[in-house]
Structure 1
Amino acid sequence: MPEITRRRLITSTAALAAVTSLPMPGWAKGRSLTHAKRGFGEYSGEDIELSIGDHHFSTGGRSGHAFAVNGTVPGPLIRLKEGQDVRLHVTNNLEEDSSIHWHGLLLPFQFDGVPGVSFPGIKPGQRFTYEFPIRQNGTYWWHSHSGLQEQAGHYGPIIIESAEPDPRYDRDYVVLLSEFTPMHPHAIMRKLKVGEHYFQRQMQTANEGEMSGEMRRMWGQMRMNPRDISDVTGSTYTFLINGHGPADNLELEFKPGERVRLRIINGSAMTFFNVRIPGVPMTVIQTDGQDVDEVEIDEFQIGVAETYDVIVTPPDGSHALVAEAMDRSGMGVASLTSHKGHIATPPPLRKIPTLTMTDMGMMDHAAMGHDMGSMEGGMDHSMRDASKLPDDVTVGPGLDMVAPMPMDRMGFPGLGLDTVDHRVLRYTDLKAKRMNPHREVDREMEIHLTGNMERYMWSFDGKKFSAVTDNPIRFGYDERVRVKLVNQTMMSHPIHLHGHFFEMVNGADHMHQPLKHTMVVQPGSTATFDLTANEPGDWAFHCHLLYHMHAGMMQVVTVRPFPEGAGA
């Protein structure tokens, strides 16, 4: 009998789906569906029941199909306590496989919830029990890792209370950012494959005066647009806070003088958000569930799948809590108010940001006043010079750009926030509150983030996930590895490693490098982390932009002792 490898399992499943006439789900046949509630309930204890089902969802002027858990979008808040054991019983009432991944939680890999990597998935009608001890505290979230279900409502928040009381705040709110679209997720994927600009309504035209004629010709020569910032935009998305669109007038109440902890989770499929409360400073106390030294700011950018906890002490009145999409195509809004029924007026959308040569991985000669005319002709070649790549990067149709001079941009606050006149969080501001054990690095490695935006192909090292699943990234148990990520594309990628926290190499001393599970790598740049691979098993490693992951920007990390003499 031939060996059943992970590659064979995945490709066989894909082939079966391609040739089999699968039954059309009930919701697609026009069957009447229950309306999912906006917002979420709360569950706690050692045994928690979760049920995944087809529902209808609406907010503002948009309505459509959703995958709801326990009848709500987002699904329920799961509140746990550090040191307890939990059993999460998940029933799949869909007509397709499903799953739940516990994002950021430290657990045995077989309960991590990634079909094809750590377990088979949950079949229609099946009930699966996740069982593991709670080894941490902080703000996390959960979501489907099956197909594109996460886009359609299959996600929710997790709060793990510390074993010791936290005296820093008087009131506590989850602020879960996401999107809703009535368009089916697979229809979105098809449209992106046909034309990556499909959802763009803000592309820069040839007559706009912000760019010289030389620069316009250069961008055109490279078949790129300086406003190609977000693949999917407010043209089809309604941006949500706790399942509520801007028209729903969500209120978060407080009493004057209270210290309010906001646990901000980016549970979106594709959207980076710029978060602010105009006139109210925020003090960052945690990121990705891990405590950091306090930093007072006025705004921060949160990548997909990141979390930030902030404390605010708002004055009496109503204040707009704003999550503005990075491409300024819309915003999520709630009112932080001491007067029930008083709705704060949000600020207008700001000017659309524009990509620069720095986002191509080049020095911005125009910003330095250099003549651009002499660079024409050579620029296109420079952006596609594959000789700059290591031998282990596959060069082919899936790799359409090479950043000529990628630099570390840990100090960059995020597109559109580098020119504002107030305090904006940067990765370089973050320091771990507790000291990390100091260890020298055993080895170093590079991973290249690669893609072809025009064909909507995404990968690591030029290899799509389906082509490399029998050749994972291998770490020895307890090995200390410095991983340098090199972004060869003009898009920001939030890179997530399952089952571990890594230390961002952000300029902090070795003992206070901040711990993260998800890190944004800016366009045309590098970002580095130190990992102590001390959680054995097979773990997913991927871009958390859902359609990038679905198109191939994913790998498997295997942590186990290496065979005798095999090395790394």
Structure 2
Amino acid sequence: MKDFKADTKANRILKILPFLFLMFSVQGFSQDHSMHQEKKADSKNDEVGTISFGGKTVRYDLYVKDTLVNFSGKSARAIATNGKLQAPTLYFKEGDTAEIYLHNQLKENTGLHWHGVILPNEMDGVPYLTTKEVKPGETHLYKFSISQNGTYWCHSHEGTQEQIGMNGILVFQKREDQPDKKFDADIPVLLGEWTDENPKQIMRKLHMDQGNYWAVKKGTVQSYSEAVKVGHFGTKLLNEWKRMEAMDVSDVYYNNFLINGAVSSDYKNLKAGDKVHLRVANGGSSSYFWLNYGGGKITVIGNDGNEVEPVEVDHLIVGVSETYDIVLTIPENKSFEFRSTSEDRQGHASLWLGNGDKIEAPTLPKLMLFEGMKMMNGMMEMSGDMKPMTMTMGNQMMDMNEVMYPEIPESQRMATMKHMNEMMGMKDKSSNVKMDHGEMTMDSNTEMDHSKIDMDVDMTVDHSMHNMGTSDMKTIKRLNYNMLKSPFKTILPDDNVKELNFTLEGNMRNYLWTLDNKTVAESDKILIKKGQVLRITMYNNSMMRHPMHLHGHDFRLVNSQGEYSPLKNVVDMAPMETNTIEFAANQDGDWFFHCHILYHMMAGMGKVFTYENSAPNSQISDKESSYSKFLSTNRMISTTAMLDVASNKLHFENMTMFGARWMNVNEFHSNYKFDHYEGSVKVGRFVGKYQWAMPYVGFRTNKTHDMAKTWFGQNVMPENQNVAIAGIRYILPFLITADANVDHNGKVRLELGREGIPISPRIRGSFAVNSDKEFDFGLKYILQKWVSVSTNYDSEFGFGAGLTFMY
């Protein structure tokens, strides 16, 4: 490892100086990183000869326009930059001035955000917040000085454009007097995913809890029949008793996973002994990726553009929007696979390095989802909160998904479950476990084994021979944040500190993701003063990972390295983790802090930091109006509809979500003569952070031949067939919806029902019963995302069968 470290005293001083400037609130960073590049910009986008202070002015022209791609036999819309699915890699040297002209040839607004780059506020590229939108036909200039070196990336912050190809890698080389480490190859690696589906429709379906068909496609339904087959019927019952959905680690179904816009690529001009520098950026919109290599170890030398002391691992997970600089060695004259596997293990993309026989990277088998469900049951309270822990877990100390990894021996998976139980006080409540700057300590009363808690080492089966039955074992080391160490001290002053605490929360039902149960549209800006140190402690009270990204600043992630804690701009918040970040307030203007999973951000998971007494932003002429437009992008209006055309009746339902809290629910069912029908309209607001309850008002209309009495002795048909109603809907255990309402004549009605009971991967059950003594039972077989075959028995209309259409 020693050959990757700086080897001169002068170089050490150069590394320390920029962070000293940061501590004294100098705008911008100028940190030293151990990076290198040999590839130059192509002739079209080569450097312009204008000299600026400390470097050249380097110009690029980026032309974005609509195109079509075909990865699965179906053409789908994408955004091409200079004719390709992703933008060309942009190269600069520290000290250069970047001049990047964005030419918008789309039919919609666009823009670019320079992820992790320290630059003036008006160049940050968030429409309506920091930078004006780039309208169709316009050309916009982004101009800023390069005060960093390392690997960064850029992407659109406009709508869902990032999902369909509008991103690319940025390479910032060191200054001429600080030469980069020489490698035999330097390869930008942009990780990504591809879906043939319109990403706006993805967001709509997530918002409306309409991802059933994705689960079918992914094989992640976790139905009752599947639970019985693998001996987890009780696990499934408890899961639904606690009002939880099925277990998964990714929300979206993707057709393909990509590296540099392709499923597989070859780099053949490499030989035995060559050292290859990969500049990896996770440009996916919602996918985490596991990285491993068929040629042996991976050496990590940088993270989020910042240099770290080299560390050797066997594999690592890259959070959404994180970057890693890694070094691989070609061990012999063969072709070795560098593989990026989606966290949900639905697929992978490959780089083949070298020439000759192909040596594959280890295959990661499908997750054991019911084991994850069992773990989730143990971690979750009936209230929806996580169970309190007797220790603080942070810095990726424990991968709770480990219980789902088939490649890990059962003994270790059970040990992980045991440790989770102990940390939640379910076994040894006398233990006193705490974290001190990322280091775990316990008193002498605890029964926990330190060696088993050390998550730097992961005992797994060696799959390099692809024999799942092998008993050969080897120690496999995976990266976690506690292993990242800055080569220079990053400690910040302890005076003038502003401390903040955020709890990350949400639910999948209405796709609500918040900080402290507030979306960015529901939150005030957080006022900060230049010269302060911001210390933010975050706790993830949800079962999803959240890669939290801060614009315009690097922060230090407090870990076990103490004064040498690493600098980052993204922190992966795993479920139940607590992490602390610190940064010097040395900028101006408004800066976005948000979850970098695109759909979590669009659902509202973020905050805005605003500097007190900021200078006017030349890009934002009407700050108040622009900010309102920015907030409106986090107030989605989504709708879903269902039409059941059966031989006995017509049944229609429509639901519309207005932002995070408000919902309109419309229902209507009738015979084909339309002389026997009932319909209702309800408008309500969800209350509580898990949105179990929704008080509402509305009206109901009906026409019936039945003059029977209700359970409460009232007439089924009111005097007035059109009545105003008020009531409340509430989610009971087993995900049953209870509805209690009263009309303006005083008639009370109680309803119980549930849709979408997962009987098998494609069969869904439903039932409904009410105090008017009406009931309905149904089954659906999912044919494809829009259509199901259905059958039902209705107490009013009898037996019927037909088709159900979904939107």
In the alignment, does 2:483 pair up with 1:429? yes
Mapped to 2, the partners of 1:51 and 1:252 lie a distance apart of 30
**Which residue number in structure 2 is paired with residue 90 of structure 1?**
102
Highest Rg: 1 or 2?
Answer: 2
Q: How many residues align?
A: 483
Give yes or no for contact 2:294–2:360 (8 Å, CA) kept in 1.
no
User: Which shifted more, 89-98 or 554-563?
Assistant: 554-563
CA contact (8 A) 1:359 1:523 kept: no
Q: Which structure has more strand as a fraction of its residues?
A: 2
SS in structure 1 at match of 2:131: coil
Task: Pick the aligned partner of 2:200 from 167, 186, 192.
Answer: 186
Identify the residue that residue 460 of structure 1 maps to in structure 2.
Answer: 515
For structure 2, the residue ranges without an aligned partner over 5 or more in a row are 1-40, 48-57, 406-457, 461-474, 616-807
Sort the Cα spacing of 1:357 and 1:433 in 2 relative to 1 into closer, same or farther, 3 A.
Answer: farther
Does residue 293 of structure 1 match 2:305?
A: no
Q: Which residue of 2 aligns with 1:161?
A: 173
Residue identity in the other structure for 1:223: R
Distance change (3 Å), C-alpha of 1:216 and 1:304: same
- How far is the alpha carbon of 1:82 from its aligned partner? 0.5
Q: Structure 1 residue 407 and structure 2 residue 392: aligned?
A: yes
Cα separation, 2, equivalents of 1:301 and 1:286: 14
Distance apart, 1:175 and its partner CA = 1.1
Q: 2:153 matched to 1:141?
A: yes
Q: By how many angstroms is 1:191 displaced?
A: 1.8
Whole-Å separation in 1 of the counterparts to 2:374 and 2:308: 29
State which drifts further: 517-526 or 267-276.
Answer: 517-526
| TM-fit CA distance, 1:460 | 1.7
**How far apart are the structure 2 equivalents of 1:310 and 1:287?**
9
Counterpart in 2 of 1:33?
none
**Change over 3 Å in CA distance of 1:62–1:308 after alignment to 2:** farther
User: Aligned letter for 1:180?
Assistant: W
1: CA distance between counterparts of 2:381 and 2:231? 18
Give the Å deviation of 1:359.
Answer: 7.2
Instruction: List per-residue Cα deviations over 1:372-395 (Å, max 9, x = no partner).
Output: xxxxxxx643x43xxxxxxxxxxx
- Alpha carbons of structure 1 residues 359 and 101: separation in structure 2 relative to 1, 3 Å: farther
Q: What's the offset of the Cα at 1:225?
A: 4.3
- Percent identical among aligned pairs is 34
Q: Give the equivalent residue in structure 1 for 2:66.
A: 54
Partner of 1:79: 91
Which position in structure 1 is the counterpart of 2:443? none
- Deviation track 1:92-143 (CA, whole Å, cap 9, x = no partner) reads 1111110100001000010000012102211111111011100000000000
Letter in 2 for 1:104: G
Does the Cα contact within 8 Å between 2:69 and 2:75 map onto a contact in 1?
Answer: yes
Contact in 1 for aligned 2:295/2:337 (Cα 8 Å): no
Distance in 1 separating the partners of 2:164 and 2:235: 39
In structure 2, what residue type is equivalent to 1:330?
Answer: G
Q: Distance in 1 between matches of 2:534 and 2:375?
A: 27
Q: Give the Cα separation in 1 of the matches to 2:171 and 2:228.
A: 47
Counterpart of 2:366? 351
Output the TM-score relative to the length of structure 1: 0.80
Q: Deviations over 1:480-532 (max 9, x none)?
A: 122111112100000000000001111211x2110000010001222211121
Equivalents in 2 of 1:183, 1:203: separation in Å? 20
Cα distance 1:479–1:358, how it changes in 2: closer, same or farther (>3 A)? farther
Paired position in structure 1 for 2:591: 539
Q: Per the alignment, do residues 290 and 359 of structure 1 end up closer, same or farther by CA in structure 2, a change over 3 Å counting?
A: farther
Alpha carbons of 1:460 and 1:41: their partners in 2 closer, same or farther (altered >3 Å)?
farther
Contact preservation (8 Å) 2:252, 2:286: yes
Aligned positions of 1:297-336 closer than 5 A: 297-316=313-332, 317-336=334-353
Tell me the distance in 1 between the aligned counterparts of 2:229 and 2:558. Answer: 39
**Alignment counterpart, residue 508 of structure 1, candidates 558, 561, 575:** 561
Label 1:413 to 1:174 Cα distance change in 2 as closer, same or farther (>3 A).
Answer: farther
One-letter code of the match for 2:571?
Answer: M
Q: Match for residue 238 of structure 1?
A: 256
Match of 2:756 in 1: none
Following the alignment from structure 1 to structure 2, what is the Cα–Cα distance between the partners of residues 560 and 252? 54
| Corresponding position of 1:551 | 603
Selected match of 2:135 from 106, 123, 127: 123
Shift of 1:345: 4.0
- Equivalent residues of 1:256, 1:314 under 8 A apart: yes
Instruction: Kindly state the Cα deviation for residue 190 of structure 1 after the two structures are TM-superposed.
Output: 1.6
CA–CA distance in 2 between the matches of 1:250 and 1:144? 28
Which stretches in structure 1 are left out of the alignment for 5+ residues? 1-39, 365-378, 385-400, 564-568
Q: Specify whether residues 127 and 148 from structure 1 end up closer, same or farther in structure 2 by C-alpha distance, changes over 3 A only.
A: same
2:272 aligns with 256
Structure-2 change in CA distance of 1:363 and 1:484 (3 Å)? farther
Q: Which 10-residue stretch deviates more, 284-293 or 214-223?
A: 214-223
Flag the 1:458–1:447 CA change in 2: closer, same or farther, 3 A.
Answer: same
2: CA distance, partners of 1:96 / 1:403: 46
Say if 1:352 and 1:208 are closer, same or farther in 2 by CA, change over 3 A. Answer: farther
Length-normalised TM-score, structure 2 = 0.57
What's the counterpart of residue 505 of structure 2? 450
